[in-house]
Chain A
């Protein structure tokens, strides 16, 4: 487990050792958090569309299909065309003469975990950044918290279509429905009937019992961040405090999440989202959650990770290890089981090769995620889980990208999945999980 105190001391040392001059760098904190000094527009409209097709080749389990075998977010079918993301935003410096204040607004209109619980549209970012204090830019509002690379980076330049399992299960937070007021005894507004692990017989049942948007790696809060240049090295830090309530406005309890982030990058050259360099990063997230149907109960939720990313054409490689404790996601069909003090960890390693003289690149990724199955639930663990029981999710993804132009590309990927569990009931549901094919076109404007 990454020690929070060590991380804080490391951040402080980095601030003292590196040059005081700030640099407009091309890392995600700066690309998303602020505008170029003196060279930003009053209002730049931008956005992107991702249209995709996915096919899942899994077999039904003893009781039918369950989420790993169905295409999200609707979980209705094993093959689906979808407008996965359609985002439009506006950013800039509202008063161009003052480069110290900029804003960022982005809305989602596509069909995914963000919008499936919110009438097909949701604001994903709305923030203001104040750049008045050298070395300490301040960003306030709704925006991406500083953390794991898959979450922090801009999704429209992500080299794959689907997240790794470790990111999807450990980091992409789901929020159970709130308590229905006035009911006695208190019950969730959405009735859950997942005592049998939630499997149903037909692939057309909607098992997404989370009625609110996924966290989308975002929070509402305040962040202090900046980047410092020392020769070819760029050192960045970010400290954020947020509601810990994802995309939902307001806080549902008195607890706040704390996010810490540190990165150092040897910049080889280039600019923007595909700048070349070797970056190493570490992050930590600490918060508490309040139980949806019993607001007297709280549960610690911590996540940590460290990783590196290398990009110098024609080669790219990245890897990241993450771990977490508390509120471990147990699947769309088991929303009640999210209330736990379990542990989980995982990692991914991936590489890409840009074929010289062509518009193609090929990608290969391996990710592995392990979560404990025998831990404290509100009631004793299911009898089917024994101490030491784990579920593992291993995936090898082969992919390719074709770049029509700088703003338009096509991704194709084939994921070979090996999911299993020591707990028999869970393993029965994971049996039959097979490969998944996906193709996606992304256009940025």
Chain B
């Protein structure tokens, strides 16, 4: 298809086809992707709409009712998994932010940062289920430990750390080290250099790493299934309810909508911080 379209464009003067492709092809590329983005975000909108519908699995949202939200707050079974997800997510976020900052600052000064990077982002290449199974077999069958929150935490950390590190590296690799040298020449201690110079400059990335860590952990399901032992997190609870009881589905819609209402502004904030900061530097 590109061949035919581009051939017609070849007859135009070079200025019109500056990027090496015709306007038609450009429009096709653009709208194909926009359609996909629509397919990603429309279900989220529909989820929120159907959560206030009387019959959430029907084709028409009307009549509206807040019945499922009332049912959600009467039912307390979701509170414990929800709290567990919050706590684990917060821990993963904080640990990711701290460790990724330490490692991300030290990495550009090492002799072979490329090799280290490949090693540290390795979990991104391993399918979630395989990584979950690997950690499960290592901890449960080989070390014979009792699984629980700690193993969920470790599994989530392995998943979230590469993302956190990449975010930190975006800023540390662009970091102007003359600033640190100038501060040192002026007699600042190494802690003061970090706190007064590096930290403020790296803050958007550190906050981003922490939030990404929290959100990745908060919504993780594939690894958690293997590593949970007898504990339950919110996505796992959602999963079990959705898979076994159709009657629970409306409550899941309501819960997922509430989570979305918190998650989306947080994410928008992170991206705004990151892009605004990158624009300035």
A binds B: no
B residues in contact (CB < 8 Å) with A: none
